[in-house]
Chain A
């Protein structure tokens, strides 16, 4: 087992978030609600963060030169505009609809396993965790070796009916999770009545039904959930503020450690880095702001850019603490309140960004994968159709991208 990977995964089991809903405007289903300018996109990134990625930063190094190694057509059942990729060493996990397919570096299928449709999949210690195919209120463990379901009845509280699992972080004997019940309605005496939203956050053992601790809030969670301070603090961003919980609490019903008032007027997204810094991106008046705070909410630096772009993904933090922010037609690299460099993707709007430990930045913009370093283009790869998930990098430095119909390996 790669030690660094283990450490990263445990420590960084942060920012696992929210349901996997695709963000590519081009392939948005026809029923997707129209989103206004500057609104936060649903967060696909954090699903990956508990794996080899930290806020979009992968510990791997890109060795690819932009040449296609192979492309593999997805089966009829796997095809669709939803899905994402995970990677462990040289195995890629193609996560689509209700299926997880393991593919080796040559493009050969190794095995497949089922999951609850569109549920979060997290990789931890050679095991994939997902909501059970049979019951969304149960957690299943799937071995990376052979795809065998090791266990499928781990109680996953607060996920029944319309409650959604926002965040899941596996630990050794316990796990952390956060679930949300959105605004709902019921019929009462011949009239419709609205019920307010709430979230439940907890830590519980795998092997019994009780909680280690559990807390709740009467709000909607709007930001990716983050673990900071070496995994000790769990940050839950609601519409009002960011509430911090002690993830290692021994009190069953702990009070929050405190709240951070958002340092931007209208917060849209956020992330954290390895050092516990919190990055908030938001909108105020006619500008977008990136504000970086320490874990107590003290502002460290700010950066502002005039105009509001159509899409605001969470900022992605690079290996040296630089923040990669998507602007209208490319990305900006910002650190300490200064713009370091910019990279334009031309007419293609960036959809996903992945940073690597060697400083390479991978940008998926519609059909095209861009690789740049310090603002300079390394290569461009045309996938042929929309890339629908963040690119991933395997241990050899090859890149994998996912389209509605294919998985492509780029060397």
Chain B
């Protein structure tokens, strides 16, 4: 078996065969490596000197600078080392010192080494070591040139005049002044850095006028200052610079330089690569980590080394890429654009193909070239003409195009930019892609296409670098690298109000509370980002719930720009009483506005448009606050102050377009005035109360089309907000949190018990009620109260009260907030009954709105096109473990108000001559139809309501009265429930209807029973017999058998206490048969 391995030639040796196993044939493809070379040019070193000059020499003994070299700067060239390192941090560095061919090879080896070290110690910031090198090999002209440099650069009076390598008075004076000025400007330095005046005498006193170490150390300080400035633009090294410097990685840390002496002069064939006219130079070489040379230079210094024995300059080993000093005025930016890729379900890089432009000071375009790294998805932008190295402060980038889309076929095929479908499949249409084209595709295929912003500009964007997010103006000043690019998330969101401006504020402040009409954007803003979870049937979810208020998102929002995004399709932002739709729209401010930095406009971000009419219809539902009268059938009397938001374009579900019906309510939470709960309770309510209730209410119901042409599924989603008292903005309701065991809800005010924010098992006892899907719901009071807030009556019956006394469990005549006849009182699993489970019928009045406003000329028509809807719930049936769907349809005007009977007769005289009330409700499907009586699907309920007024003679204690009513009347009447049903011999909407009995009670003491009474019961032990009747008046002894009275109610013989049978309810069957509910005959049957 053969094995082929590719190895850089410079790294190859015979031992590499070890990578193959014995008896294998190993084949090596030896390749040339590549390395970058930065040249410290000849003009930066004087002949026979090791000191790096700050710039090119003037009138010196050094090389005559070419025109190209006249602008060279030693310090800036050093800064380029750091620039290169920033861009390619994994490269390893090697310094190679070179000398010209004058003199002895050995000396040249030595001086080339010293030059390399001189550069090395400047790079490494080694002050003392650098000064030591300078001492070893320097000349008068070295410090003359340095003094000139600082005289010009810093304005110091230390110009020695001509650089002539001659000691003279001007040089002497210049040194004296240099000492004084250094001490003056560097007075903060430690005492040992202060230069003594006597140093001048030291110089004067030696024959060669050599500088002592202290003076070289002072020069180092000034070089260091310039190097830091050239690298970072700052005057003192900061943490980032120090980190950069310390991260310089050398080919061999124990020998970071090599001394080549005169061995490798600039030859004729390499001359074009160098700017040095002579061979004197230091080369700084950068090797990729996989192509690092094996340093094995000959130890010999008596004669020059030849190419064949050199690991670097052997022409077979490396191709060199030369970095010019002009690179200092060229900036390399690494930029990555990411987008949420619905195929990979992650943020992925924008592929190659964007034409990116760079701009300076707004409108001056800079020469820019781009390289795309397909591995990292990074655009490497080389921008020329930078005048404020290392980064141009006013730079910004932009791109624009006429119709680029990103196409992602699958998770393994790289995404690509396309303009037409035929770009990926020649057989497909060649017309330019449009959003309409994509929308027409099947849902799954739509996900393959991502529309890029047609215009994008980096100004005012937030972007991130090294995990830190900041304003692009700041981030673009920072160094980037091939592994650490600036990331722009093209799905970042900017809120846009209904007038199209990006300067959002809370215009709807609460004047009553004198809140400021101003929103300070912050991470504590009332903001929630709701996204569609692709992995969970596109369910709408709150992104990154905030710990102190879980209905908000924990996202930075110091400016109107949301950069912290879920790995999902963000659909809508809730912010300060309004909803902002995120769709295909992008922020496209006028060019003039983009240019106006004061306006802080953002171009090319996702535009979240406040209640965008293209995808959003709102309906604020509120009862009349004076009379409690509800609007249409969208709420009940005194219940409801909420908003309905129809949200179109919410992805795809079951291959249909998905829309949401968002039900919104909000409140301000304050301590109750009478029995205020503490701060902890307020926190509990704000923190968890709303989300607990939302999670409880957001059962996965679906509103499906019943008929019509609209191809949409609609999902209801409750979004409730509770805010602390000190927050701005409007609220629908003020909620007082109390330590009392009290919970109630009115349209604008409410009272919640401090404990009701969460489940209270102790309040309702054991969780014994299982729903149709097997759910054992814990009681949650907050969900019940939110039911009122969103328009629902109570399902339980209100207790009889007698003065201050509450007859718990004994229904009263007064039922202001329940449906007549109490049809849902038997649904003990229901949220509005025992604070337990949601019910589809609770959502029906929202569907009423959809059906009403779907019609022509109505706001929803453009989305729903006249279609009508029903509700459905699909679940796993616990008895069969199979999926099952139940539906509810109450669209017929007779049934649409679930709390108004479809048919009724309040004075039904069918039972003898005595009246009762009959009410007929249609269940229309849903959980209630099946949970009242186990294993029976019921179409409706017909409660027989009996109003019973009781007068006690000589029985005054309420507990006595209550106990008597409970045991003599209530229990036998309640026992009639769940025993009988009405059955029709034809199929119809009431084919199987539960027969219920709902007694209501009143206590009276005068001569006349209250109005509306069906029967008066006088409890008087002086009654001559157990029971004496006279029409609707029944006089009884306390110990009477209640069945006698019950039988009397139903017109039956009272000399018996026999239980009632189905035949005794025949009049009701007759009654329902008279209604136009069915074309058939009803009978009463036993369960």
Chain A residues with a Cβ under 8 A of chain B:
30-34, 98, 114, 116-118, 133-137, 157-158, 160-163, 181-192, 195-198, 200, 202, 209-211, 214-216, 218, 252-253
Contact A98 to B766, CB < 8 A, known contacts A161-B806, A187-B744, A188-B816: yes
Check if A33 sits within 8 Å of B754, measured CB to CB.
yes
- Chain B residue nearest in CB terms to A188: B816
Q: Are B959 and A214 in contact (CB under 8 A)?
A: yes
Q: Are A195 and B766 in contact (CB under 8 A)?
A: no
Residue interface mask B952-987, A partner, CB < 8 A = 1? 000111111011001100000000000000000000
Nearest chain B CB to A98 CB, angstrom units: 7
**Of the residues B677, B745, B746, B960, contact of A191 by C-beta under 8 Å:** B746
A31-B681, A187-B744 given as contacts; is B765 within 8 A of A218 (CB)?
Answer: no
15 other A-B residue contacts (CB within 8 Å) besides A200-B959, A211-B959, A252-B957 = A117-B762, A158-B959, A184-B741, A186-B798, A190-B746, A192-B751, A198-B804, A209-B966, A210-B963, A211-B960, A211-B963, A216-B957, A216-B959, A218-B804, A253-B955
Given the interface contacts A33-B754, A214-B959, does A182 sit within 8 Å of B740 by beta carbon?
A: yes
Which one of A31, A192, A195 lies within 8 Å of B749 (CB-CB)? A192
Question: Inside 8 A of B816's CB, which chain A residues have their CB?
Answer: 187-189
B868 to chain A, nearest CB (A): 33
Bound-state CA distance A114–B804 (Å) is 34
Offer 22 A-B interface pairs, CB within 8 angstroms, sorted by A.
Answer: A30-B684, A31-B677, A31-B678, A31-B684, A32-B678, A116-B765, A116-B766, A117-B762, A136-B765, A158-B808, A158-B959, A161-B799, A162-B741, A183-B740, A184-B740, A189-B816, A190-B628, A195-B806, A196-B804, A198-B958, A211-B963, A214-B960
Complex CA gap A229/B901 in Å reads 59
Are B808 and A253 touching (Cβ within 8 A)? no
A30 CA to B758 CA in the complex, in Å? 13
Contact with A along B929-965 (1 / 0, CB 8 A): 0000000000000000000000000011111101100
Q: With contacts A157-B959, A192-B751, A253-B956 known, is A31 near B967, CB below 8 A?
A: no
The A-contacting residues of B in range 668-711, CB under 8 angstroms, are 675, 677-678, 680-681, 684
- A134 in contact with B768 (CB, 8 Å): yes
With CB as the reference atom, state the residue of chain A lying closest to B801: A195
Tell me whether A117 and B959 are in contact (CB under 8 A).
no
CA distance A114 to B745 in the complex (A): 34
The answer to whether A34 and B766 touch across the interface, beta carbons within 8 angstroms, is: no
With A and B bound together, what is the CA distance between A202 and B960 in angstroms? 10
Give the number of residue pairs across the A-B interface with Cβ within 8 Å: 121
Residues of B812-832 whose CB lies within 8 A of A: 816-817
- CB-CB under 8 A from A187, the residues of chain B are 638, 744-746, 816-817
Complex Cα distance A158/B628, Å? Answer: 33
Q: Is B584's CB within 8 Å of the partner chain A? A: no
When distances are taken between beta carbons in the complex, the residues of chain A under 8 Å from B963 are 157, 209-211
- When chains A and B are docked, how far (Å) is the Cα of A160 from the Cα of B811? 13
Q: Complex: how many Å from CA A31 to CA B739?
A: 9
CA distance A216 to B803 in the complex (A): 13
CA distance A114 to B766 in the complex (A): 10
Question: Which A residues are CB-close (under 8 A) to B741?
Answer: 162, 182, 184
CB distance from A38 to the nearest CB of B (A): 18
What residues of B have a CB within 8 angstroms of the CB of A182 in the complex? 740-741
Residues B680 and A161 in contact, CB atoms below 8 Å apart: no
A65 vs B326: C-alpha distance when bound (angstroms): 90
A21 CB, nearest partner CB in chain B, Å = 11
CA distance A210 to B967 in the complex (A): 9
Contact B809 A161 (CB under 8 A): yes
Assess the B958–A200 pair: CB atoms within 8 A.
yes
CA distance A386 to B638 in the complex (A): 48
Distance in angstroms from A19 CB to nearest chain B CB is 10
Contact B680 A185 (CB under 8 A): no
A160→B834 CA distance, assembly (Å) = 13
Query: Top 9 nearest A-B pairs by Cβ distance?
Result: A160-B808, A117-B762, A161-B808, A30-B680, A33-B739, A200-B959, A196-B804, A209-B967, A185-B742
Q: Flag if B766 contacts A133 (CB, 8 Å).
A: yes
Q: How far is the CB of B445 from chain A (nearest CB, A)?
A: 49
**Complex Cα spacing A292 to B453, Å:** 86
> Which residues of A sit under 8 angstroms from B762, Cβ to Cβ?
98, 116-118
Which residues in B have their C-beta under 8 angstroms from that of A215?
957
Residues of A within 8 A of B1046 (CB): none
Q: Does B755 contact A (CB under 8 A)?
A: yes
A184 and B806 contacting across the interface, CB-CB below 8 Å: yes
Chain A, residue nearest B743 (CB): A185
Per-residue interface assignment for chain B, residues 775 to 806, with 1 indicating a CB less than 8 Å from any chain A CB and 0 otherwise = 00000000000000000000000110100111
**B761 interface residue (CB < 8 Å to A):** yes
Q: Which of B628, B962, B963 has the most chain A CB atoms closer than 10 A to its own CB?
A: B963
Chain B contacts of A190 at CB under 8 A?
628, 638, 746-747
Contacts of B678 in A (CB 8 A): 31-34
Name B678's closest neighbour in chain A (CB-CB): A34
The distance from the CB of B815 to the nearest CB of chain A, in whole angstroms, is 12
Q: Residue on A with the closest CB to B810?
A: A160
Q: How far is the CB of A274 from the nearest CB of chain B, in Å?
A: 31
- Determine the chain A residues whose CB is within 8 A of the CB of B960 once the complex forms: 211, 214, 252-253
Instruction: Provide the bound-state CA to CA distance between A135 and B828, in Å.
Output: 14
CA distance A196 to B804 in the complex (A): 6
CA A98 – CA B768 in complex, angstroms? Answer: 13
Assembly CA distance A364 to B255 (angstroms): 73
A210 to B966, CA, bound (A): 11
- Alpha-carbon gap, A209 to B804, bound state (A): 23
* A161 to B684 alpha-carbon distance, docked (Å): 24
- A188: chain B residues within 8 A (beta carbon): 816
Q: Is the pair A31, B809 in contact by a Cβ cutoff of 8 Å?
A: no
Distance in Å: Cβ of A187 to nearest Cβ of chain B? 5
Of the candidates B761, B808, B809, the one whose C-beta lies within 8 Å of that of A117 is B761
Measured CB to CB, the closest approach of chain A to B1070, in angstroms, equals 36
Nearest CB of B to A84, in Å: 15
A198 partner residues in chain B, CB cutoff 8 A: 804-805, 958
Chain B residues whose C-beta falls within 8 Å of the C-beta of A216 in the assembled complex: 805, 957-959
> What is the CB-to-nearest-CB distance from B632 to chain A, in angstroms, rounded to a whole number?
19
Separation of A216 and B963 alpha carbons in the complex (Å): 14
Query: Contacts of B804 on A, CB cut-off 8 Å?
Result: 195-198, 218
Most buried by A among B680, B754, B816, B957: B957
Query: Which residues of chain B are within 8 angstroms of A136 by Cβ–Cβ distance?
Result: 765
Which residues of chain B are within 8 angstroms of A117 by Cβ–Cβ distance? 761-762, 765
Give chain B nearest CB distance to A118 CB in angstroms: 5
Cα A98 to Cα B761 in complex, Å, equals 9
CA distance A342 to B744 in the complex (A): 50
Q: B744 contacts A160, CB within 8 Å?
A: no
Closest CB-CB distance, B113 to chain A, in whole Å? Answer: 71
Chain B: minimal CB distance from A368 (Å)? 27
Q: A196–B958 Cα gap in the complex (Å)?
A: 14
A130 CB to closest chain B CB (Å) equals 12
A31: chain B residues within 8 A (beta carbon): 677-678, 680-681, 684, 754-755
Instruction: Give the distance to chain B from A5, nearest Cβ to Cβ, in Å.
Output: 30
Tell me the chain B residues, 163-201 only, with Cβ under 8 Å from chain A: none
> Which of A137, A181, A182, A187 gathers most chain B CB within 10 Å?
A187
Q: Which residues of B contact A184 (CB under 8 A)?
A: 740-742, 806
Q: Is the CB–CB distance between A135 and B799 below 8 Å?
A: no
Q: Which partner residue on chain A sits nearest B960 by CB separation?
A: A214
**Bound-complex Cα distance A98 to B763 (A):** 11
The CA of A27 and the CA of B768, in the complex, are separated in Å by 30
Give the nearest-CB partner of B748 in chain A. A190
Chain B residues whose CB sits within 8 angstroms of the CB of A185 once the complex forms = 740, 742, 744, 751
Instruction: Point out the residues of chain A lying under 8 angstroms from B967, CB to CB.
Output: 209
Q: Determine the distance from Cα of A87 to Cα of B799 in the docked complex, in whole angstroms.
A: 40
Point out the residues of chain B lying under 8 angstroms from A252, CB to CB: 957, 960
In the complex, which residues 216-260 of chain B have their Cβ closer than 8 Å to any Cβ of chain A? none
In the bound assembly, the distance between CA atoms of A54 and B1026 in angstroms comes to: 47
**Complex CA–CA separation, A210 to B957 (angstroms):** 13
CA distance A211 to B956 in the complex (A): 13
List of B residues within 8 angstroms of A134 by Cβ: 765-766, 768
